[in-house]
């Protein structure tokens, strides 16, 4: 296990807003940014689009994420291929992965449903760690709000897995 490297990741899923209620479906993007804790820097980034098997990219989802059905048709790959790329390019069980919230559950549940091996074993929920560090026991806080509270500039469009993973890596460098 390489404890000096952490792979921050963010997922975007098919999403809908029906009568003011949001719901999500299959993963359509995985953004990753690996940090080196010794160097104190982001050392690698990647973005993978996933072609959903049962869902589609709604207009609401495109407005929120910037991901279009055309982009998924052209660049999307099956989740099994994306997971293989993640493991090959970022390491699987020999790395620690981190996300804001429970993205690992979403990824693992979809992997299980599709018969895909889980891509990693070790996981850090940075939202929980942040709440502990900041003594915010019962308060939920979003990734962007937490980052700005620590005077870390947000860069790029929110709800892009690639951008969110990069910003999360910047936050993780400060927290860890």
In tens digits, what is the pLDDT along the chain, a chain of 176 residues? 889 999 999 999 999 988 777 889 999 999 999 999 999 999 999 999 999 999 999 999 999 999 999 999 999 999 999 999 999 999 989 999 999 999 999 999 999 999 999 999 999 999 999 999 999 977 889 999 999 999 999 999 999 999 999 999 999 999 99
Fold of the CATH domain 5-175: Nucleotidyltransferase; domain 5 (3.30.420)
DSSP 24-69: EEEEEEEEEEEEETTTTEEEEEEEEEB--SS----HHHHHHH---H
Task: Report how far residue 175's alpha carbon sits from residue 169's, in angstroms, rounded to the nearest whole number.
Answer: 10
């Amino acid at each position: 296990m390489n404890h000096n490297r952490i792979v921050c990741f963010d997922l975007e899923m098919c999403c809908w807003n029906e009568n003011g209620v949001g719901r999500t479906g299959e993963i359509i993007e995985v953004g990753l940014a690996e940090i080196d804790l010794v160097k104190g820097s982001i050392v690698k980034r990647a973005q993978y689009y996933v072609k959903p098997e049962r869902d589609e990219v709604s207009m609401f989802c495109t407005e929120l994420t910037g991901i279009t059905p055309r982009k998924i048709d052209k660049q999307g790959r099956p989740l099994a291929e994306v997971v293989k790329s993640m493991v090959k390019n970022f390491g699987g069980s020999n790395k620690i992965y981190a996300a804001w919230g429970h993205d690992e559950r979403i990824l693992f549940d979809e992997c299980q449903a599709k018969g895909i091996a889980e891509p990693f074993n070790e996981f850090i929920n940075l939202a929980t760690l942040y709440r502990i560090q900041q003594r915010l026991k019962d308060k939920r806080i979003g990734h962007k709000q937490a980052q700005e509270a620590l005077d870390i500039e947000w860069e790029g469009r929110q709800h892009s897995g690639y951008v969110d993973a990069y910003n999360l890596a910047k936050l993780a460098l400060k927290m860890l």
